[in-house]
Amino acid sequence: MDRACTNCATPFTITSEDKAFYTSAGPVLNGKKYPLAEPTLCPACMQQRRIAWRNERFMYRRTCDSTGKSIVSMYPPDSPFIIYDQDVWWGDSWDPLSYGRDFDFSRPFFEQFRELQLEVPRLALLNKNSENCDYINHSADNKNCYLSATVFGCEDIYHSDWAVDHCKDLVDCSYVMEGSELCYELFYGWSSYKCFYSEFLKRCQDCWFCYDCVNCKNCFLSCNLRNKEYCYENEQLTKEAYEEKLQSILPLGYTASRTFRDEYLKMKEERAIHPATYRINVVDSTGDLLFRTENCRDCYDLIQSKDCAHCYSALDMQDSMDAYHVGWSELMYECHAIAKGYKCTACHFTYESKNALYCDFCHNSRDLFGCCGLNQKQHCILNKQYSKEEYEELAGKIVKHMQKSGEWSEFFPIEYSLFAFNQSRAMEFYAITEEEAKERGIRWSSYQPPDPEVEKVIPADKLPELISDIPDDVLNWAIRCEVTDVPFQIVPKELELYRLLGLPVPRRHPNQRYDDRVAMRTPWKLFERTCSKCGEGMQSTHQPSPADAGLRSAGSPDGKEKVYCEACYLGAVY
């Protein structure tokens, strides 16, 4: 069944499978089934609403509202919420049930829940079981990490995001997994060692400015290689010739690094072959960046998942729809930042919980409705404790109330987000202007953190070209970003890694380096275009080339990159 999005008017389809899910995922209260309501927004607008509730990379210095201690938080000092340090929030000095209140059937649910959120203390950062990691967020089980996010089970990670599974000594990397080590500016890498300024490398070693390579060693400015060694610009060299070539290049100066980056981007446009979508061990699934998925529809950045639709950046999910950053969970709908959950609807920052409805930052709990900040609780509504019978009777009445108000099955409104839109990840994928935000009633922030307190601030172009000429005093300076003029600092371990790897000190702020990296990412959307080799129609996250539709390509300034269907791509690279 087709309908039009109430936000952007884009048509979207609700399938029979979707309708079956809305029934199966709905709660059972007092023996009565309450199916989820069919969505009023298209999947993209639903995702924009969810992702606007996530800030993972921006961290601010502020005070703990309990102790007055200076802390680091994902919430800036001008945030309207009460923020506690980790030790206080997880401690026994406060009781989240003390904020409980009765439900008022004369008012909308979201309005009442917002009032609860403004009163219940929030955790400054999401960071569990880590050592010497005061400046990381949405992470767990790490050691010695700094200014990074979505890092799990890693050590010595700096200015990076989505580093998981025993990675070590990474700087400025994104989506790097499976024990990768000593890498810099690597975007999508698996089990790789000493790889720099590269994308989509798997089991590679000592590679520079390479794209889409597997099982390769000692390669430079090359693309689409498999099981190769000593290649320069895709030309096979002898070991001696390759090493002689690199001796004339390394150690890399900063200007040379930018020149080679330009050559790398030119290589991606003119020489590289791009798969229509990136898929590994995928069965009956559509979307992009899918790994070991089965029967997943319109999904992106999905790992080891089954029977999902419209899910993004998720791991080990089953039977779920419209979710973002969810892991090890089942029967999720309209959820964000859930781990080890079961049958949750419209939940946010909720962990190891079951049968949760409209909950925010609740842990190790079950059978909750509209709760905030609870841990190891059951049968609570708006943070008030009930018996099982009382809970199910009242919860059913609230569902009916929300059905009448049009709130049932809708995620929390974007205007109630915990973060200003320009402080959230939504700006990366669904950017809007400040004027657009104001027109839609969405919060926008003009807050700017103070400059670091240092001996001096130097322009980036005053830095020496080579790492060997960088003095230890750089640790006492701030460097003014060559793009944004925002000052930033280098920390000791970071400088140690640059020296170890022979890399130049960066001249761009970490946020600008991140923006440069993700600018190469294709959108979470499938376009109709033709294969650059066989001419057959296909779907791809690379926008149509001028020959297809007169549109500009996302991956290339003029839409000339070569994008192949799966059969042609595999035939070309293997």
Helix (H, G, I), strand (E, B) or coil at 227: coil
Task: Give me the helix-helix angle, 388-405 and 109-119, nearest 10°.
Answer: 120
One DSSP character per residue, 277-315 reads S-EEEEES--EEEEEEEEEEESEEEEES-EEEEEEEEEE
Burial class of residue 138, CB neighbours in 10 A (0-12, 13-18, 19+): buried
pTM for this structure? 0.93
Residue 153 near residue 143, CB atoms below 8 Å: no
Q: Which residues contact 57 (CB under 8 A, 6 or more apart)?
A: 137, 149, 161, 425, 511, 514
- Token pair for residue 555? 């991956």
Q: Where are the strands (E) in 352-507, listed by range?
A: 354-357, 366-369, 378-381, 384-385, 456-459, 477-480, 487-488
Instruction: Give the integer Cα–Cα distance in Å for 380 and 344.
Output: 15
Q: Which of 8, 27, 44 is nearest to 402 (CA)?
A: 27
CB-based contacts of 166-169 (< 8 A; 24+ apart in sequence):
169/497
Render 426-452 in DSSP notation, one character per residue.
Answer: HHHHS---HHHHHHTT-------PPPP
And the tokens for 51? 């992702």
The dihedrals phi and psi of 419, each to the nearest 5 degrees, come to -130, 150
Could you read off the pLDDT tens digit of each residue along the chain, which spans 574 residues? Answer: 789 999 999 999 999 999 999 999 999 999 999 999 999 999 999 999 999 999 999 999 999 999 999 999 999 999 999 999 999 999 999 999 999 999 999 999 999 999 999 999 999 999 989 999 999 999 999 999 999 999 999 999 999 999 999 999 999 999 999 999 999 999 999 999 999 999 999 999 999 999 999 999 999 999 999 999 999 999 999 999 999 999 999 999 999 999 999 999 999 999 999 999 999 999 999 999 999 999 999 999 999 999 999 999 999 999 999 999 999 999 999 999 999 999 999 999 999 999 999 999 999 999 999 999 999 999 999 999 999 999 999 999 999 999 999 999 999 999 999 999 999 999 999 999 999 999 999 999 999 888 888 889 999 999 999 999 999 999 999 999 999 999 999 999 999 999 999 999 999 999 999 999 989 899 999 999 999 999 999 999 998 866 554 433 334 444 579 999 999 999 999 9
In 3D space, the residue among 550, 534, 528, 293 whose CA is nearest the CA of residue 542 turns out to be 528
**Backbone angles phi and psi of 44, in degrees to 5:** -65, -45
Contact in structure between 88 and 60 (CB atoms under 8 Å): no
Point out which residues pair with 152 in neighbouring strands: 140, 164
The secondary element (H helix, E strand) that includes residue 351 is strand 348-351
Report the Cα–Cα distance between both ends of the chain, in Å, rounded.
41
